Homo-oligomer: A and B are copies of this chain.
Amino acid sequence: MSLPEQMKAIVFYGPQDIRTETVKTPQIENVTDVILKVKYSGLCGTDLHTYRGHIKGPVGQIIGHEFMGTIVAKGSAIGDDKFQVGDDVLSTFTVQCGTCWYCVHGYSGQCEKTNTFGKVGLAGGQAEYVRIPYALSSLIKKPETTGDVDDSVYVLMADIFTTGYYGVKKIVDFSKQSPTANIKAQEIGDLTVLQLGLGPVGLCALRALKHFGFKKVVCVDNVPSRIEEAKRLGAYKTINFDTEGDALKEFIKNETQGVGFDAVLEVVGAPQALKTAYDSVRRNGFISSIGMAHDQLPFDGLECYLKNINISFGRCHAWSLFPEALEIFEELKGEFKSFIDYKPRLEDSKEAFDLFDKHKVNKVVFDLT
């Protein structure tokens, strides 16, 4: 199958300056590459970091790390038993070699050769075609489509559902630990969880928490539409921190015997969120932080010691966790249909970024079908 010489793609030029342009179509460069014809490509909250200028973006680069599509070309090392031209596949938001210590041990997010689509050195997937290096450890065949759910939901698997699952898995692991040999771990349904942040990752995480049997999940954000979505997905209580300032303290006092939350899922990364996590978690509780923190931590060593703090940070190991996250996603995907509330064409990139930036839409997925 010969590829067209040129294609459309969304290119980053600077803060508030992204453009849909005609660029060269990618080609197979290495024997483990695959070229995908993109069907759906999402706009992730992290794309806003560069769009808003908070993080330096890759000028002149195609952006986007959430996509799925159809294999149209593959390198000589990709056997037909693995992938065939014509296969519909999902991609992780990162590439990973599949063979280094971290990949082998289940921590693919730390792969020695990892990169993220749309970052420096790896063209992204907000494009008609995208090159996938290390395709054997970056792609997975799309499950058979069933019911009335179209393939656009699988864009959530690339990053946000899997990242949400990663944060939740750590809470599940923590919940299984017995404090002593004679005291059983509390039942999951009895544990209180505070979730800070209801962006797309947060909403996926909330649904995953519910899937695992957590009942008392209190969600905090300040965007009304997100809060509505959290209610739909089963939040036990929602708190708008702009307008319900004391509600969190009241909940801790009245519904946790004053001790605080057993666990906090922190999906923001800002120091204020980490501080709220510290203040709200019970002594000996657990903070699962999947937000990308940048600053000095808002608690010192003595505060951590005195409160017996347990905390886990870091980027999702998307490839390592893909099979188990996908198994859960297959059960839940129908609930995410309404989650994607704006499906523009690639040409509408300016409007799409603008609406997403202003929280006027929850989740944007470019439709290239």
Do residues A313 and B305 form an inter-chain contact, with CB atoms below 8 A? Answer: yes
Contact check: which of B101, B183, B321 meets A320 at CB < 8 Å?
B183
Do residues A105 and B183 form an inter-chain contact, with CB atoms below 8 A? Answer: yes
Cβ of A181 within 8 Å of any chain B Cβ, yes or no, is: yes
- Contact A179:B317 (CB < 8 A) given known A109-B308, A284-B107, A308-B110: yes
Cβ of A314 within 8 Å of any chain B Cβ, yes or no, is: yes
C-alpha gap A284/B182 in the complex (Å) = 29
C-alpha gap A308/B170 in the complex (Å) = 12
Question: How near does chain B come to A255, taking the closest CB pair, in angstroms?
Answer: 13
What residues of chain B lie closer than 8 Å to A312, measured between beta carbons? 308-311
Give chain A's interface residue range (CB within 8 Å of chain B). Answer: 35 or more
Cβ of A304 within 8 Å of any chain B Cβ, yes or no, is: yes
C-alpha gap A183/B321 in the complex (Å) = 10
- Contact A305:B284 (CB < 8 A) given known A106-B180, A180-B317, A317-B179: no
C-alpha gap A44/B180 in the complex (Å) = 25
Indicate with 1 or 0, residue by residue over A268-295, a CB within 8 angstroms of chain B CB atoms. Answer: 0101001000000001100001001111
Do residues B173 and A106 form an inter-chain contact, with CB atoms below 8 A? Answer: no
What residues of chain B lie closer than 8 Å to A300, measured between beta carbons? 293-297
C-alpha gap A177/B289 in the complex (Å) = 18
Total copies of the chain = 2
C-alpha gap A320/B312 in the complex (Å) = 24
What residues of chain B lie closer than 8 Å to A147, measured between beta carbons? none
Cβ of A52 within 8 Å of any chain B Cβ, yes or no, is: no
What residues of chain B lie closer than 8 Å to A310, measured between beta carbons? 311-313
Cβ of A1 within 8 Å of any chain B Cβ, yes or no, is: no
Do residues A314 and B323 form an inter-chain contact, with CB atoms below 8 A? Answer: no
A:309-349 near B, CB below 8 Å: 309-315, 317, 320-321, 323-324
Do residues A324 and B182 form an inter-chain contact, with CB atoms below 8 A? Answer: yes
Question: Which of A186, A295, A310 is packed against the most chain B CB atoms within 10 Å?
Answer: A310
Indicate with 1 or 0, residue by residue over A102-113, a CB within 8 angstroms of chain B CB atoms. Answer: 100111011000
Do residues B324 and A181 form an inter-chain contact, with CB atoms below 8 A? Answer: yes
- Contact A269:B301 (CB < 8 A) given known A106-B178, A180-B324, A284-B107: yes
A interface residues (Cβ-Cβ under 8 A, vs B): 101-102, 105-107, 109-110, 173, 177-183, 186, 257, 259, 269, 271, 274, 283-284, 289, 292-297, 299-302, 304-315, 317, 320-321, 323-324
Q: A107-B284, A295-B301, A308-B315 are in contact. List 4 more A-B contacts (CB 8 A).
A: A107-B179, A271-B301, A304-B311, A310-B313
User: What are 29 of the A-B contact pairs (CB < 8 Å)?
Assistant: A101-B257, A102-B259, A105-B179, A106-B182, A106-B183, A109-B308, A179-B320, A180-B317, A180-B320, A180-B324, A181-B324, A182-B323, A182-B324, A269-B305, A274-B301, A293-B304, A293-B305, A294-B301, A295-B301, A295-B302, A297-B297, A297-B299, A301-B313, A304-B311, A305-B315, A308-B312, A308-B313, A308-B315, A311-B311
